[in-house]
Amino acid sequence: MCLSMFFVFRHSPYSEEKPLSEIIWLIVAAFCNAGETVFAVSISSRLLVLVLYLTTMMLHAYYNSFLISSLTVEKTYLPFTDLQGLYEAKTYSFGVGYGSSKEDYLKMSHIPLHKSIWNEMVLADPLNLSPSIPDLMERVCTHKHASLISRISLRKQLWPCSIFLLPGTYFPHPTTMPIQKDSPLTSTFQFQMRKLSEAGIMRRLEGKWTPNAMESPDSGKTPISILQASTAFCLTLIGHLAALAILAMEIVFAKWQRTKQHA
């Protein structure tokens, strides 16, 4: 904008040339919503001044509307983010699937925190040991309840409500494809699966083909980007091109007038 206005004011035959410092001050004042006196006589210079103030008004409107929207977005604040916080808060009940490997891991764990959670929270209510996945889903969606469930089982289910997957991994265990013992294809499968995993293809396939009802606590709010305010910059570009085209016509018309006067 500075260079365009400087070029137009300098080469327009109908406008007074302005120093670059004055043009910079004019643009800064416009973006600060402050008034500044400017004398623009030619059509091209007037068009640039008009585009400047329209652009600043649009950008301020984008900013204000996005600020109001951001302030009205309801952000979810979780009372805990791990097992330690769950145990200390005591605001949610906690359970696992009955007869699942997670129940054995938690019950047989030698970690004091796991023992305390098992004795004081899981065993405190028989309903915390859900006999099936649908029962577990119903309890999570209708009560203040958290559950320890494998990531694969979590992603395979179509949950009837929005849920949050807390960070952290507990009791990890390897998974593999079933194959005949001592099969000659074992090494080939291992090599190819390792390549897929290292290239990130397995993670992309998992995200594509498995349903995902999990949300992040920060979902629903994204920062404003240039793309969202692209209309204001498109207006600026169109205004610059139009002003330069009008400037060329003004120069040609001024030369024609001088030639006609001399004749």
Q: Percent of the chain having pLDDT more than 90?
A: 0
Instruction: Please tell me the predicted confidence (pLDDT) of residue 222.
Output: 64
pLDDT for 252 beyond 80: yes
Per-residue pLDDT at 72 exceeds 80: no
More confident residue, 228 or 145: 145
154-167 burial: b if 16+ Cβ within 10 Å, else e? bbebeeeeebeeee
Q: How far, rounded to the nearest angstrom, does the alpha carbon of residue 253 sit from its chain's CA centroid?
A: 52
Checking if the pLDDT of 214 tops 60, the result is no
Q: Looking at the whole model, is its pTM more than 0.85?
A: no
Q: What is the CATH number of domain 83-171+201-215?
A: 3.40.190
The pLDDT value given to residue 213: 47
Angstrom distance (rounded) from CA 174 to CA 193: 13
Give 119's DSSP letter.
I
Other Cβ atoms within 10 Å of 247 Cβ, number: 25
173 falls in which pLDDT band (50, 70, 90)?
Answer: low
Position 219 scores a pLDDT of 47
Order across the sheet with 145-148: list the strands: 129-130, 93-97, 145-148
Closest CA to 14 of 211, 253, 179: 253
Closest CA to 86 of 122, 36, 135: 122
pLDDT of residue 5: 85
> Residue 166 is encoded by which pair of tokens?
């807390």
Q: How far is CA 97 from CA 126, 150, 229, in A?
A: 11, 10, 49
- Max mean pLDDT range (29-38, 104-113, 212-221): 104-113
Domain coordinates in residue numbering, the chain: 2-73+225-262, 83-171+201-215
